[in-house]
Structure 1
Amino acid sequence: MTGSPPVAAQVDLRQQPVEDVLERVEQALHVRLDRQALVRRRRSLGGRTDRGTWVRIERRGFEQIGPQGWNGTEAAAVLQGVAMPEWYQGVAWREQGEPVMWRADELELMTSPSVARSALVLDDPGLPDAWWEVLNASLDALAAQRTPRIAAPDTVTITQEQVTQILGESFPGLADTRIERWAPAHADLTWANVMGPEFSVIDWEDWGMAPRGLDAATLWGNALAVPPLADRVQQERRADFESRDGKLMSLFFLSKIVGSLSYEGDPLLAPARKEAKRLVGELQHTPDR
């Protein structure tokens, strides 16, 4: 008999003791981690090493690891023309007695910090034109490649069925949610995962094939509280946003803001509602092709 897969207990690594994990990673990768500068997030850790590299450590339950595995950062090492940290080595292990996997990857240390500490921005970071040029070159290069991997935004594998369900629940006026073009995407292109003023993209664990425009929509949506910045994203990635798939992906992102879990204190809510109304109207008046 087969049943539902076991679900991992929720753990917040910002509160959980992690010294044993750090020691295991150090022994496996033959590095020493700087404890004083350790970055702790809910399900990941990051830190500088004594040889001038960066190590990212993540804990993930079995239910969030699909058949394609969980080596996205390693798999992304073959991508060409994308500004990203070089991958050096990695290690993975199962947490004893729990349906949980740990993974640590040693990467090139980027000289520029993340543009923002969280996914969204509330102030214009004043990025130089060169930053936008490399962003465009990287996203274009990424989209031109092919991979058997399927993107998993928010650790959930993206499918046509999922897109149709989410858009149908949030925007019932949409009659057609078919995706026409799929291409490789980072799948978590937030302002915390892009570096500046020198552009690069980090955290590649969930990249793969996705509907066109997913990355552009994610970056744009997380900039809606800063209209000039959101406008710049739209301008730079105009071809994505003007495509039918790009509009659907914009709504796919907006559904997380204006849907059933929306709250009035969200700085993205008001502009998201305005943009959602515009996009639904445009898609409803787009002739069938």
Structure 2
Amino acid sequence: MTPSLSAAAAVDLRVQPVDDMLDRVERALHVRLDRDTVVRKRRSVGGQTDRDTWVRIERRGFDRIGDQGWNGTEAAAVLHGVSMPEWYTGLAWRAPDEPAMWRADEIALIATPPVGQGALVIEDPQLPDSWWKALNTSLDALAGQHTPRVATPDTDTITQDLVTATIREVFPEIVDTTVDEWTPAHADMTWANVTGPEFFLIDWEDWGMAPRGLDAAALWCNSLAVPSLADRVRRERRPDLESRSGRLMTLFYCAKVVGPHAHEADPRLAPAREAAARLVAELQSS
């Protein structure tokens, strides 16, 4: 075992050695990974193979797996009407001598890149109308399906208690935080997980049942640095965001921006505070 990977709670794959893990995946899947294409994130690594597919590898501690299991990308293969990469095969193994699992999934290679390098964008990506149509079609199709999975945004299982705690920590004046609608959600709707100009929704490890509007609110929150883009998200996903659950989810994400860990340099801070004030007033009067 690589010594630097021994602590389950302190692994960042952007800086940790991953060559041994990549070698293992290549042997198991009988592929060669183009190391020049490898993308490293905090808890996942991905790269293009010699058979023109993409392999995504993720590490997650036992405390972040929960009841829904360890096969989100594979489980999403049964969804219909959603623009997403086709899933081909996968494997999973336990990290030696530590409470963590690794999983690798081989999926179709998507030629169009992610819209953002990170979760949020600071410039308007100028997406075509066809992109917004595909977004709406996919999110509407996803919401109309069924799953026993429970979504894990930010790897935290979304429950009524989590919604209540997150909102009331920052907005204690909101007495009733009851979510009245639950639907399937992608649960990691950032600009790094949608491609453009052709729309695909990628990275499905956290999907499952969630309050209605979770995905729309997440994309809106990650658009706040570009007011025109945030307005477009709100217009396109108006039915979700104007529902009671959608208002709560919007406030849920506002709480993450303006709460105890707020950063004054965050370009979303001022618009999130403004939106939160409006939402608090709406929820108190409803």
Look up the match of 2:231.
231
Q: Distance in 1 between matches of 2:12 and 2:216?
A: 29
Partner of 1:58: 58
After TM superposition, list the pairs within 5 Å mapping 1:110-259 onto structure 2: 110-259=110-259
User: How far is 1:174 from its partner?
Assistant: 0.7
Q: Kindly state the Cα deviation for residue 216 of structure 1 after the two structures are TM-superposed.
A: 0.2
| Residue 273 in structure 1 maps to residue 273 in structure 2 | yes
Alpha-carbon RMSD across the aligned residues, in angstroms, is 0.8
- How far apart are 1:165 and its partner, in Å? 1.2
How far 1:264 sits from its partner (Å)?
A: 0.7
**Distance in 2 (alpha carbons) for counterparts of 1:159 and 1:42:** 24
Deviation for aligned residue 1:265: 1.0
* Secondary structure of residue in 1 paired with 2:9: coil
Deviation per residue, 1:117-163 (Å, 9 max, x gap): 00001000000000000000000000000000000000010001111
Q: Distance in 2 between matches of 1:283 and 1:156?
A: 25
Q: What is the distance in 1 between the residues matched to 2:244 and 2:178?
A: 9
- Matched to 1:82, the amino acid is V
| Whole-Å separation in 1 of the counterparts to 2:276 and 2:21 | 43
Deviation at 1:173, TM superposition (A): 1.1
Separation of aligned partners in 2, 1:84 and 1:97:
35
Give the C-alpha shift of residue 65 in structure 1. 0.8
- Partners of 2:230 and 2:247 lie apart in 1 by 15
Range 164-173 or range 128-137, more displaced: 164-173
Does the CA contact (< 8 Å) of 1:120 and 1:223 recur in 2? yes
- Distance (Å, rounded) in 2 between the aligned partners of 1:100 and 1:74: 19
Aligned partners of 2:233 and 2:176: how far apart in 1? 26
Q: CA deviation at 1:175?
A: 1.4
CA distance in 1, matches of 2:68, 2:135: 27
AA of the residue aligned to 1:128: P
Q: Structure 1: any 5+ residue segments left out of the alignment? A: 1-6
In structure 2, the partner of 1:99 is 99
8 Å Cα contact 1:8/1:63 also seen in 2: no
Aligned residue number for residue 28 of structure 2: 28
Q: Map of 1:41-56 to 2, 5 A cutoff? A: 41-56=41-56
**Structure 1 equivalent of residue 3 of structure 2:** none
Q: Secondary structure at the match of 1:9?
A: helix
Match of 2:86 in 1: 86
Between the aligned partners of 2:19 and 2:79, the Cα distance in structure 1 is 33
Cα distance, 1:40 vs. partner?
1.0
Aligned to 1:3: none
Of 121-130 and 39-48, deviating more is 39-48
Give 1:280 shift: 0.6
Distance 2:56 2:75 in 1: 15
Q: Which amino acid aligns with 1:270?
A: A
The amino acid of 1:122's aligned partner reads: I
Provide the rounded CA distance (Å) in 2 between the counterparts of 1:12 and 1:189: 21
TM-aligned CA deviation for residue 235 of structure 1 = 0.3
Tell me if structure 2 keeps the 8 A contact 1:39–1:46: yes
SS of the equivalent of 1:22 reads helix
Cα distance between partner residues in 2 of 1:206 and 1:13: 18
Q: 2:4 maps to what in 1?
A: none
Give the Å deviation of 1:260: 0.7
CA apart distance, 1:68? 1.8
Aligned to 1:77: 77
Distance 1:99 1:169, change over 3 A: same
Partner SS for 2:8: coil
Letter in 2 for 1:99: P
Q: Percent identity?
A: 67
Q: Which runs of 4+ in 1 moved over 2 A?
A: none
Letter in 1 for 2:32: R
Q: Distance in 1 between matches of 2:260 and 2:51?
A: 47
How far apart are residue 168 of structure 1 and its match? 1.0
